[in-house]
Amino acid sequence: MENQKKLQIYNSLTGKKELFVPLHDNYVGMYVCGPTLYSEPHMGNMRTFINFDLIYRYLLHLGYRVKYVRNITDAGHITNSAGYEEDSIGKAARLEQVQSLEIVYKYNLKFQELQRIYNLLSPSIEPTATGHIQEQIEIIEQILQNGYAYVVNGSVYFDTQKYMQDFNYGILSGRKVEELSTETRSLNAQDEKRFFADFALWKKANPEDMQIWRSPWGDGNPGWHIECTAMSTKYLGKQFDIHGGGMDLKFPHHEDEIAQSCGSFGCNPAKVWMHANMLNVNGQKMSKSFENYFLPKEIIDGTTSLFKKAYSANVIRFFMMQAHYRSTLDFTESALDAAEKGLSRLSEGIKLVEKITVSDKSSFDVQGVIQNFYEAMNDDFNAPILIANLFDAVKFVNLINDGKETISSDDRALLDKEMNGFIYDVLGVELKTASSHSKLNPVMDLVMDLRQQARQNKDWTTSDKIRNALEEAGIVVKDGKEGTTWS
Ligand code: AMP
Ligand code: ZN
């Protein structure tokens, strides 16, 4: 509990690291913008969710009761790709010739599977935009009533100029409205807006729209930003502790969320705004639109052309933890190989700490070694430093094993508990190797043999059937260049 009081978090709103003091003792309310499920999340999306999983895990580890809300965008993410404004999910549905919610359901199943594979804890609740249309309408009504929005031809726009008379638009992103004018593309709705920086709260329906809702302003769709204001308010209140998302959401999405909250309730929704940095490919943000992405399943299946072999989800997670959440990260083969080696060193260390011989007293400051774990994470969730500190602990364990240092029984138990706690509970890395599944091993040998035979006979139906059934049982089979493995 002592460590709860020492947590410092970098607040994007102030540009500083600040001591974290929750609004209510022992409780943390955290909202993170979730995926838009018009396609399978790519590795970049997963990095952001893995980073917030680490943050969630450490808050839990410190003993906080955390209400973690992460939404699912299943409507309203409007793009201007086809020459006219269109909901990205509606677009995917049109292209795949299915209904919008079929698209969302299909990709949500994939997303949930990825969370299991990459060992993400489930949020407390995952609300959807389509399940909260009424709440969105009510907030828009409140903004209209307060005079910060206007209705044009069945659409509702946020009135940025009116808002700027009372609040600071740009408080989070630091963007100046004058600079924005050069960035704004000519959207269809541009002529409906009073001012170029105004954004849609509600859009009048197009005849082609797949999903349409009734509203006081006629049939239409919610704007992109309003769902997060509606859902964060509903589940966490008008003000809560932490609001997070990827760096690319800072503007306009989060700036507009702040404007909507101030425009309806008069206050910034979150005390701390946290932004996770991007996963890059050769220095460029991984993105669907740049076509430089790979899928989180491809890298563990060894089917991406970028890498010669497959890597386990554990290795990838551990690799990601070696970069601070506010730094960019590039995937390279050599770095992944190094992470694989590092992970097995840590694994050996953890096994050894259970076995080392104890003495009357410790020859080094075991409490200090452990305190370093907390200090790293208390410094804005610095997982790379935590990992370096865990390796320091492994060094001591090896020295004890070589008879060059000693440890008392109590200290050994403490070190064992804390190392395990930080590796499994905080970093979310599983070190258990196949040998710890001793009862399963002979069965798996048989199953893998049968699958190998099927593959040799080019009986892909059987080999896929085995692989899929195993996957359902939580066992991931990887066909790498150096043979087939399972975990
Ligand atoms: P989206 O599904 O596009 O709404 O994105 C879901 C989350 O993934 C958001 O928090 C984005 O900021 C984040 N994201 C998108 N691209 C990347 C990337 N290349 N690296 C890290 N996070 C990303
Ligand atoms: Zn959001």
β-partners of residue 87 are 78
Q: Which of 47, 50, 73, 248 to mutate to test the pocket of ligand 1 (most atoms within 8 A of CB)?
A: 248
Cis peptide before 252, with omega less than 30 degrees from 0? yes
Give the C-alpha separation, 330 to 38, whole Å: 25
| Residues 327/277, Cβ–Cβ less than 8 Å | yes
One of 1.10.730.10, 3.40.50.300, 3.40.190.10, 3.10.150.10 is the CATH number of 280-426, namely 1.10.730.10
pLDDT reported for residue 367 = 97
Instruction: Please identify, by atom number, the ligand 1 atom nearest to the C-alpha of residue 32.
Output: 10
Residue-level pLDDT, tens digit, the chain, 487 residues:
788 899 999 999 999 999 999 999 999 999 999 999 999 999 999 999 999 999 999 999 999 999 999 999 998 777 665 556 778 898 899 899 999 999 999 999 999 999 999 999 999 999 999 999 999 999 999 999 999 999 999 999 999 999 999 999 999 999 888 777 655 554 455 689 999 999 999 999 988 888 899 999 999 999 999 999 999 999 999 999 999 999 999 999 999 999 999 999 999 999 999 999 999 988 899 998 888 899 999 999 999 888 889 999 999 999 999 999 999 999 999 999 999 999 999 999 999 999 999 999 999 999 999 999 999 999 999 999 999 999 999 999 999 999 999 999 999 999 999 999 999 999 999 876 544 455 677 788 788 888 988 888 889 889 888 988 888 887 878 776 556 777 7
pLDDT reported for residue 84 = 64
pLDDT reported for residue 480 = 63
One-letter identity of residue 335: A
Give the C-alpha separation, 158 to 144, whole Å: 8
Q: How far does residue 224's CA lie from ligand 1's centre (Å)?
A: 15
One of 3.40.50.300, 3.40.50.620, 3.40.50.720, 3.40.50.150 is the CATH number of 2-276, namely 3.40.50.620
Q: Which two tokens stand for residue 467?
A: 């692989």
Pocket around ligand 1 at a 6 A CB cut-off:
33, 35-36, 44-45, 47-48, 245-246, 248-249, 278-279, 285-287
**Residues near 161 by beta carbon (within 8 Å), at least 6 away in sequence:** 194, 195, 197, 198
Q: Are strands 155-158 and 149-152 parallel, antiparallel or unpaired?
A: antiparallel
Q: Shortest CA distance to 129 belongs to which of 263, 247, 224?
A: 224
| Residues 272/18, Cβ–Cβ less than 8 Å | yes
Ligand 1 atom 15 nearest Cα: 45
Task: Give the start-to-end residue ranges of the domains of the chain.
Answer: 2-276, 280-426, 434-486
